Amino acid sequence: MPPFDQPVARLRHVRVELGAHRALDEVDLDVHAGRLVAVVGANGSGKSTLVAVLAGFRAPTSGTAELRAGTAVALVAQHTADSARLPLTVTDLVTMGRWRERGAFRPLRRSDRARVAEAIDAVGLTPLAARPLGALSGGQRQRAFVAQALAQEADLLLLDEPTSGLDDASRRAAASALRVAAARGAAVVVVTHDLAELDGVDEVVTLASGRVLARRPESVMRGRSLENVSSVEG
């Protein structure tokens, strides 16, 4: 068993330069199993860059980004471009989330099918499970991608604004699915502008111009608007 306090992901003094632009600077972050961490901040503050570093897509220019050995990562990227044109049903898409465990094109086991059904249910799409993605609303499609990530049962679940543009019911369904994933032991990092999603998070990290401006446990956040939180010094 790994040491109790060993984080799934650990960033230290992370700086990322994109051309002449410093997208992240001096970012320290520990993400622990079973915790739900929200990342908030204005447009351009470095949220997606932070997700890319945690996912391993972007190496820091300086500083260190470490994942615990053997960590499986699932990612819901910001804006799933052209996803409407994928010739897949909701069930097909979510089933792809099992490929890491099962291997692509191998027959699924009963337990895989149960995981897929459970993930679809967690985001409230069971009645639409057989629908092609192209026949869903944008918000429903976005929830299908969240379900695909849930079905992976990854150790580290990264979601970049998974609920932007969704209606109220969809946002609540997606947010509660993330809380369940964390309760089952995943380390979950979600970029959000959405206060409903902040309900029940363990930590809120506020970025401003690539730096961590504030870090708050959720209890401190309750009842505050994002604007207030962003102006609190860390």
Ligand X SMILES: Nc1ncnc2c1ncn2[C@@H]1O[C@H](COP(=O)(O)OP(=O)(O)O)[C@@H](O)[C@H]1O
Site of interaction with ligand X (CB under 6 A): 18-19, 21, 23, 41, 43-49
Site string for Mg ion, 8-47 (x = CB under 5 A): ---------------------------------------x
The one of ligand X, Mg ion, none whose footprint includes residue 18, by CB under 5 to 8 A per kind, is ligand X
Report the site for Mg ion in 60-79 (rule: CB under 5 A): 78
By a kind-dependent CB cut-off of 5 to 8 A, residue 34 interacts, out of Mg ion, ligand X, none, with none
Beta pairing class for 187-191 and 211-217: unpaired
- Name the minimum Å distance from CB 77 to ligand X: 11
What is the rounded distance in angstroms from the CA atom of residue 79 to the CA atom of residue 136?
15
Contact 78, 161 (CB under 8 A): yes
Helix, strand and coil content of the chain, in percent to the nearest 5, comes to: 35, 25, 35
Interaction partner, residue 35 (ligand X, Mg ion, none; CB < 5-8 Å by kind): none
| Degrees, nearest 5: CA angle 156-199-143 | 55
Place of tokens 């409407």: 84
Give the C-alpha separation, 46 to 78, whole Å: 13
Which of 199, 190, 143 is closest to 167 using CA atoms? 143
Q: Which residues contact 63 (CB under 8 A, 6 or more apart)?
A: 11, 12, 13, 14, 15, 26, 27
Shortest spacing between CB 210 and ligand X, in angstroms: 7
Partner that binds at residue 140, options ligand X, Mg ion, none, CB closer than 5 to 8 Å by kind:
none
Minimum distance between the CB of residue 225 and ligand X, rounded to whole angstroms? 18
**Identity of the residue, 23 or 188, whose beta carbon is nearer to ligand X in the bound complex:** 23
With respect to ligand X, which residue has the nearer C-beta, 57 or 109?
57
Contact of residue 113 among Mg ion, ligand X, none (CB under 5-8 Å per partner type): none
Is residue 192 within the footprint of Mg ion (CB under 5 A)? no
DSSP string, 146-179: HHHHHHTT-SEEEEESTTTT--HHHHHHHHHHHH
Given 29, 37, 48, 128, the residue binding Mg ion (CB under 5 A): 48
By a kind-dependent CB cut-off of 5 to 8 A, residue 49 interacts, out of Mg ion, ligand X, none, with: ligand X
The residue assigned the tokens 């052209």 is: 82
Work out how close the CB of 95 gets to ligand X at its nearest, in angstroms, rounded to a whole number: 30
Q: Which positions touch Mg ion (CB under 5 A)? A: 47-48, 78
